[in-house]
Amino acid sequence: MNTDYNLYKIFLYLYEEKSISKTANRLYVSQPAISYSLKELESQLGHTLFYRNSKGIEPTLEAKELYGYISTAFSILNDAEEHLKNLNDLNTGNIRIGVPSYISMFYLSKYIVDFRGIFPGVKFELVSKTTESMVTMLEQRQLDLIIAPLPINSKKEVTKITLSKLKNCFAYNKDLMKDVSLKKLEDIKKYPLVLPSKISSIRTKLDEYLESQNIKVNPVLESWPIDSMIEMVRKGVGIGYFIKDVIDSQNDSDKFETVTFDNKLPDVDICCVYIDSFLTTAAKKFIDLITENK
């Protein structure tokens, strides 16, 4: 690497802060020093990286491309430092997990409690995004592992461990939808439906199953956040489709009527996904805990 490490560090902060003054304050140096370093980096790379505007500075297209590489490189360096700190006793550490909020709510929390009972100095960071976004973060070392429903596809070689098979159900507020009668699966066509977003794996498997049964549905609401779906069903908007444990974990679960149609609905495979060479000691220990007790 021909360019000074500190120049890239300044670039990283400039990109994130969008301000020379904020970057200077963050690094405890003068604004002229930041401006000089930016000009030096632009000169070495042969590209303009930022434009000035009324609000501060705005990255160019070249800067946006560079940021992807630099942020990944710094993340790798931070991981290396974290790994060495954790080699001995795990008194400190950080485990970054990509997990849908509904999975962390009823499934992951018990493992975090158990792990912190053994290693109280380890901090957890939970990130809830689309599966595609979490996979990108995993590949860029911004996450240590993902715990989510299959399928989980990556361009890199990953390890996948199935942790649990969970049941799905249709659920509705029995106090507000008193006329509902679900004797067989095709009965759901008679009622307003609140379904997961089409980009979710749970919805994909449901659609495939309904198609195999020659059942077509037209939901009145589709949502990515499960919390929004639960609230809509709680208010009687329609019949929702959920992992059954999600409904059972609600404080007012007695308000919901759940129907599984004799467990014929598609199961959900909860999987742990990680890249072996990226794992810190703390993340390895946590994976050992959840796989030994799955």
Q: Do domains 5-66 and 168-266 have the same CATH topology?
A: no
Q: What is the overall mean pLDDT for the chain? A: 89
Please compute the mean of the pLDDT values over residues 97-126 and round it to a whole number. Answer: 88
Q: Using CA atoms, how far apart are residues 270 and 275, in angstroms rounded to an integer?
A: 17
The SS3 call for residue 143 is coil
pLDDT over threshold 80, residue 210 = yes
Predicted pLDDT of residue 286: 94
pLDDT band at 126 (very low <50, low <70, confident <90, very high): very high
* Overall pTM > 0.85: no
Q: Give residue-wise pLDDT tens across range 12-65.
A: 999 999 999 999 999 888 999 999 999 999 999 999 999 988 788 999 999 999
* Nearest partner of 221 among 213, 230, 208, judged by Cα: 230
pLDDT over threshold 90, residue 131 = no
pLDDT over threshold 80, residue 94 = yes
Q: Using CA atoms, how far apart are residues 115 and 286, in angstroms rounded to an integer?
A: 7
Q: Using CA atoms, how far apart are residues 294 and 16, in angstroms rounded to an integer?
A: 39
Domain edges within the chain: 5-66, 87-164+270-292, 168-266
Beta strands in 139-255 (DSSP E): 145-149, 159-166, 168-173, 193-196, 221-223, 239-243
Q: Give residue-wise pLDDT tens across range 239-292.
A: 999 999 889 888 899 999 999 998 789 998 899 999 998 888 889 999 999 998
Q: Give residue-wise pLDDT tens across range 143-187.
A: 999 998 888 888 889 999 999 888 999 999 999 998 999 999 999
Q: What is the CATH number of domain 5-66?
A: 1.10.10.10
Residue 75's CB: how many other CB atoms inside 10 A? 17
pLDDT over threshold 60, residue 1 = no
May I ask the CATH class of domain 87-164+270-292? alpha beta
H-state helical runs in the chain: 5-17, 20-27, 31-45, 61-86, 101-103, 109-118, 131-139, 201-212, 226-234, 244-248, 281-292
May I ask the CATH class of domain 168-266? alpha beta
Q: Using CA atoms, how far apart are residues 294 and 286, in angstroms rounded to an integer?
A: 12
pLDDT over threshold 70, residue 89 = no
